[in-house]
Amino acid sequence: MLLWLLLHFLIAAAGTLLARRYALQRDLLDHPGERRSHQVATPRGGGIAIVVAMLVAIVALALRDPSQRWLLGGFGVGFVLVAAVGMVDDHRPLPASLRLAVHALAGMVLAISVQMAAGNSWLSAMAFLSVIVLTNIWNFMDGINGLATSQALLLALALAWLLGGSWALLAGALAASCTGFLPFNFPRARIFLGDGGSGGIGYCLAGLGTIAALTEGAAALWLLLPLSAFMVDAGLTLLKRVVQRERWWEAHTRHAYQAWARVVGHTRVTLAYASWTATTVAVMIVLRSTPVVLALALCVVTYLAASVVWWRLERMESHIKTTGDK
């Protein structure tokens, strides 16, 4: 296990260095602007290193474990689709409708693989919806230094603990890959994930979460706890933009984490979100063997609490500006 983790850590770290050099040579830079949360031009596309590391893991595990080969194959095909359309978008912006169509296709591939493996239509539907939701949430929430990668790292660790066999190794590979990339993105960002990296991470979490539901049944509901920070911030911000008839699919800086970062800085916000998620992971580990109804009750309480925090953070910046003007 240690050698496995070290391998994927090194692939991600070395790949990020190469990706940064490539991005600088090709002028693949995110420039500051009203729809950005950073102040200096920064290379993008570093998530390709995580993508490569995960592809190595998928192929290695498919060769090692024939019993999971078809499911890992479907997982891998969907992963490539999401990562590829994101990397193309990193080089040349694509229409949001095209990216969403590719995400839907990736979700269908995973759903068909799950249906073939489990014969469970509800689980297949969950696979499809999870890919659409988490792929885009990780893209939406990749806006400040270290946030998307640190959250993925914590969730991957939770999944590695929950799963077994080849899938635990795959979750461990994701955690190690995120660890290899993170020093280049936090606390100071020398390169960003890009759409290929953030989308690929979101897809992996969706796929691994589906496998957790396949193997663990209702106990997989506990995974909703560590997802709460991103689900609430992304979901409520998206709902607000839709209600206000904004072009919700375009880049923006309206998330609660972005408003908070403008007040206290990227590092504090990323660490605060990590503390929230680490706490929910610990709760999940301690209470996993308790009745599932407790998981549902805790999820309701946690999401309500997160919604209150979102509401307060979302108004923090405007309150400070109003007070300053007075």
DSSP 30: E
**How is the chain split into domains, by residue range?**
2-325
Is the predicted pLDDT of residue 103 greater than 80, yes or no? yes
pLDDT, residue 192, reads 95
Residue 43, classed as helix, strand or coil, is strand
* Banded pLDDT at 291 (limits 50, 70, 90): confident
What is the distance between the terminal CA atoms of the chain, rounded to a whole angstrom? 59
Q: What would the mean pLDDT of 100-119 be, rounded to a whole number?
A: 95
| Burial of residue 288, with CB atoms counted within 10 A of its CB: 0-12 exposed, 13-18 middle, 19 or more buried | middle
* Banded pLDDT at 195 (limits 50, 70, 90): very high
pLDDT, residue 36, reads 63
pLDDT, residue 39, reads 65
* 144 CB neighbour count, 10 Å cutoff: 25
Is the predicted pLDDT of residue 126 greater than 60, yes or no? yes
Q: What would the mean pLDDT of 105-118 be, rounded to a whole number?
A: 95
Q: What would the mean pLDDT of 149-171 be, rounded to a whole number?
A: 95
Q: 228, 303 in Cβ contact below 8 A?
A: yes
- What are the φ/ψ torsions at residue 186 (nearest 5 degrees)? -155, 140
- What are the φ/ψ torsions at residue 39 (nearest 5 degrees)? -110, -10
Q: What would the mean pLDDT of 116-145 be, rounded to a whole number?
A: 94
pLDDT, residue 181, reads 98
pLDDT, residue 245, reads 86
pLDDT, residue 30, reads 80
pLDDT, residue 319, reads 55
pTM above 0.95, yes or no: no
Mean pLDDT over the full length of the chain: 91
- What are the φ/ψ torsions at residue 288 (nearest 5 degrees)? -60, -35
Is the predicted pLDDT of residue 183 greater than 70, yes or no? yes
Contacts 24+ apart (CB under 8 A), 116-122: 116/70, 116/71, 116/74, 117/70, 117/71, 117/214, 118/214, 120/214
pLDDT, residue 323, reads 47
pLDDT, residue 55, reads 98
Per the model's pLDDT, the better-predicted residue between 11 and 164 turns out to be: 11
Tens digit of pLDDT for each residue in 17-46? 999 999 999 988 887 766 666 668 899 999
Q: What would the mean pLDDT of 272-297 be, rounded to a whole number?
A: 91
Tens digit of pLDDT for each residue in 243-260? 988 887 777 788 999 989
* Banded pLDDT at 326 (limits 50, 70, 90): very low
pLDDT, residue 224, reads 94
